[in-house]
Amino acid sequence: MLWKMAWRNLWRHRRRTFINLGSVAFGVWLTITAVGLGDYSYLRTINDSARMGFGHVTVQPEGYQASPSLEKRISDTNNTLSRVLEIDGVDHGVVRIIGQSMLASASKTVGGAFIAVDPSLETPEVNLFIRALKRGEMFSGTAGREAVIGSLMAEKLNLDLGKKLVLTAVDKNGEVVSELFRVKGIFKTSVTEVDSSTLLVPIDRIRKTLGYGADEATMISAYVEDYRKSRSVRDLISASVAPQGAEVATWRETQSELASLSDVDRGMNVLFLALLGVLISAGILNTSLMSVLERKQEFGMMLAVGMRPAQLAGMVLTESFFIGALGLCIGSLLCAPWIYYLLEVGLDMSSMMGTDYSAGGVLIDPILHIELYWQTILITIVGLLVLSMGAALYPAVSAARIPPIDVIKKVA
């Protein structure tokens, strides 16, 4: 009965209903876009940063995080890696040795960090340096003497494809050791620090150089299909898989500054969404309140013919619920093509970023996409429904408070 009345009321005041529906539908569109863009930007930043070295979840020797050293290492890496890969939600895993070294050519010597990798595990997906290859190619074996180096390092050492380079580091016993490599590829990420001091080398060769066992490394990095699952994956790994003497950390711990930044970013987005919510509910509140005021006479009549104030309030709320639900449906339908466009094509922001956005290299994508999680969609839907009904709460209560006699008198 109440539902029917509320429904009929909506269509008796079509214009008002359409305005309200428009508000909600527009709100859906704005919220989904804002949340999706925000989530996409975290996703990208976090994944890019994971691809630069540590992955989403890292198994490393105890104490390595506090003071990294090649003397610290974990063992049984192959077995651990295969068990890590079996964990639900883990997409990729790599075994790496990361360390500081001195690099020399016949003309010069520079300091730099080496990342020793197994090329069969590394894909452009998980390794930004491979994606940033400008010349030459990635080495294919694990025991070769081939290296992929940064463009600025190549420049400093006066190196080119095929040229020799000697890496000197401190081995597992603290002894100074050297190894020869030839340049196989040159990458350019456009981050000066990285391009001038990073190189990739084959892992088994470095193991031999450093005196590591065939199954030892400084880290195992896991790439999680959805970065939000990092923590549960970490707990799973540390509970059952991690070798002795190892600690397991998520990207939040290995890259605490990035985590802080993304927290603040998220905070700002919450602020933004809160303001957006205030605006949307202000719109709905405005409309409902006005409509209640306009319908005083009508409400007075209803009360006079025996409707209880609570029922009246319920009716107003039900109207709002209909508007919210209908608005959500219309909004979702209307913004579906837009969402699809953002997911598939994206917004080209290059005009806002100056002409030469290539300076940012692989780290900058001038095309903005969105990332939608079903949780965000659900929260948006529930949130907007709650907002639209919450905004009608005050008008509903004030409708219920209308003294029937006065109103009729007033009108008469």
Partner 1 sequence: MKNSLLPPFALSLLCSAPHPAVAAPEPLDVAALLDRIDDMWRGDASEAVVSMTVKTANYERSMKMEAWSLGEERTLIRIIEPLKEKGSATLKSGNNIYTYLPKTDRTIRLTSGMMGGSWMGSHFTNDDLVKESRLRQDYDAKLSFQGERGGQNLIEITLLPKEGAAVVWGKIVTTVDAGSLMPLETLYYDEDMAVARTARFTDIGNLGGRQVPTVMTMIPSDKPKEFTRIKYEKLDLGVKLDDAFFSVNRLKRTR
Partner 2 sequence: MYTLTIAVRSLGRNKRRMVITTLATALAGWIMLVYSALLDGMVRTMERTVVSLELGDLQIHAEGYRRDPDLYLRISRGEELADELSKRGLLSAPRLYTFALAASGVSSAGAELRGIDVEREARVSEIHKHVRHGSWLDTTDPRGIVLGAKLARSMNAKVGSEVVLLGQAADGSMANDLYQVRGVLKTISERADRSGLFLTEAAFRELMVLPEGHHELALARGKHDLNAAKSIASSEAKGAEVMTWRELQPAVAQMLDSSVAGRFILMFIMYGAISMVILNATLMSVFERIREFGVMKAIGVTPFQVGFVIFLEVMLQALAASAIALATGLPLAFYLQRHGWNLSSFAGDMSFAGIAMEPIWYAQVSVAGVATAIGALFAIVALASLYPGIKAAIIRPLEAIYHR
- Name the residue nearer to partner 1 (CB basis): 183 or 273: 183
- Give the binding site for partner 1 (CB under 8 A): 100-102, 104-107, 109-111, 145, 163-170, 175-180
390 binds partner 2 (CB under 8 A): no
User: Whole-angstrom Cα distance, residue 396 to residue 312?
Assistant: 7
x-or-dash string of contact with partner 2, 6-25, rule CB under 8 A: ------xx-xx--xx-xx--
- Return the SS3 of 256: helix
306 binds partner 2 (CB under 8 A): no
Helix or strand run (H / E) with residue 89: none
The distance of closest approach from Cβ of residue 116 to partner 2 in the complex, given in angstroms and rounded to an integer, is 20
Q: Which of 124, 120, 165, 126 is nearest to 140 (CA)?
A: 120
169 binds partner 2 (CB under 8 A): no
226 binds partner 2 (CB under 8 A): no
CA distance between the termini of the chain = 29
For residue 196, how many other CB atoms are within 10 A of its CB? 18
The torsion of the CA quartet 334, 336, 338, 340, rounded to 10 degrees, works out to -170
- Name the residue nearer to partner 1 (CB basis): 153 or 222: 153
Strand 367-368 to strand 219-224: parallel, antiparallel, or no bridges (unpaired)? unpaired
Phi then psi dihedrals of residue 182, to 5 deg:
-120, 145
The distance of closest approach from Cβ of residue 126 to partner 2 in the complex, given in angstroms and rounded to an integer, is 21
The distance of closest approach from Cβ of residue 278 to partner 1 in the complex, given in angstroms and rounded to an integer, is 55
For residue 143, how many other CB atoms are within 10 A of its CB? 12
Give residue 35's identity as a one-letter amino acid code: V
The distance of closest approach from Cβ of residue 221 to partner 2 in the complex, given in angstroms and rounded to an integer, is 19
The distance of closest approach from Cβ of residue 383 to partner 1 in the complex, given in angstroms and rounded to an integer, is 54
Residue 263 interacting entry, from partner 2, partner 1, none, C-beta within 5 to 8 Å by type? partner 2
Near partner 2 by CB under 8 A: residue from 106, 304, 349, 378: 349
Strand 90-104 to strand 109-117: parallel, antiparallel, or no bridges (unpaired)? antiparallel
In this structure, the chain runs to a length of 412
Burial level of 274, CB count in 10 A (0-12/13-18/19+)? exposed
- Name the residue nearer to partner 2 (CB basis): 67 or 240: 67
Judged by the rule CB under 8 A, the positions of this chain that interact with partner 2 are 12-13, 15-16, 19-20, 22-23, 26-27, 30, 33-34, 37, 41, 66-68, 111, 156, 189-193, 256-261, 263-264, 266-268, 272, 275-276, 278-280, 282-283, 285-287, 289-291, 293-294, 347, 349, 352-354, 356-357, 359-361, 363-366, 368
